[in-house]
Amino acid sequence: MMHDAADDLLSDLAGLFAGEADPIANAANAAAAIWQHVPRINWAGFYFLKDGELVLGPFQGKPACVRIALGRGVCGTAAARRETLVVADVHAFPGHIACDGASNSEIVVPLLRDGALLGVLDIDSPELARFGAAERVLFEAAARAWTDSLGG
Ligand code: SME
């Protein structure tokens, strides 16, 4: 990822979130900003934890599966482990949920606030191994910007 694109995304998020604490509005703008700034992706969006499962939130890309059980697929596994998962080839990931057959690699970052799991930020790419250390840092910062935007 170009350093500039990362800086642009994070500064856009800071501007978009300034003075606004609505979780849906800020997630919608975050998905749109990621879509705008990050090249070679085919899905970017949020799942929120509701009644013990992940439920689809704001996103960009093709329509996606609405409900994902904790522990299932890449999203459910990242949520259950509460850690970022970077998957170079989703087809090799046990239980991967193929929402868009074009997806080949994926990064999922848990959304954590005061130790509570709120959901995940999920980005997919049609390229194998699209996401590495730089993207992990970037999307973890984007996820933190969103959780911080919710206020105290
Ligand atoms: N592939 C994900 C499902 C969500 S979609 O990619 C948007 C998974 O295995 O969790």
% of the chain beyond a pLDDT of 70? 98
pLDDT recorded at residue 100: 86
% of the chain beyond a pLDDT of 90? 91
pLDDT recorded at residue 151: 86
Q: Side chain identity at 93, as an amino acid letter? A: F
Is the pLDDT reported for residue 2 higher than 90? no
Q: How far is the CA of 104 from the centre of ligand 1 (A)?
A: 11
Is the pLDDT reported for residue 43 higher than 80? yes
Q: Which atom of ligand 1 is nearest the CA belonging to 99?
A: 5
| CATH, residue 29 | 3.30.450.40
Comparison of pLDDT for 22 and 1, the residue scoring more: 22
Q: How far is CA 77 from CA 8, 85, 93, 130, in A?
A: 30, 8, 10, 19
Q: How far is the CA of 4 from the centre of ligand 1 (A)?
A: 27
Of 85, 24, 11, the C-alpha closest to 50 is 24
pLDDT recorded at residue 3: 57
pLDDT averaged over every residue in the chain: 95
Q: pLDDT tens digits, residue range 60-70?
A: 999 999 999 99
Residue labelled with tokens 């604490």: 21
For residue 138, give every residue at least 6 positions away whose Cβ sits within 8 Å of its Cβ, in sequence order, or none.
Answer: 1, 6, 9, 10
- Tokens coding 12: 């856009």
107 pocket-lining for ligand 1 (C-beta < 6 Å): no
Do 40 and 127 form a contact (C-beta atoms < 8 A)? yes
Q: Side chain identity at 58, as an amino acid letter? A: P
The total domain count for the chain is 1
Q: pLDDT tens digits, residue range 93-106?
A: 998 998 888 999 99
pLDDT recorded at residue 5: 86
DSSP 45: E
Which domain range does residue 20 map to? 3-149
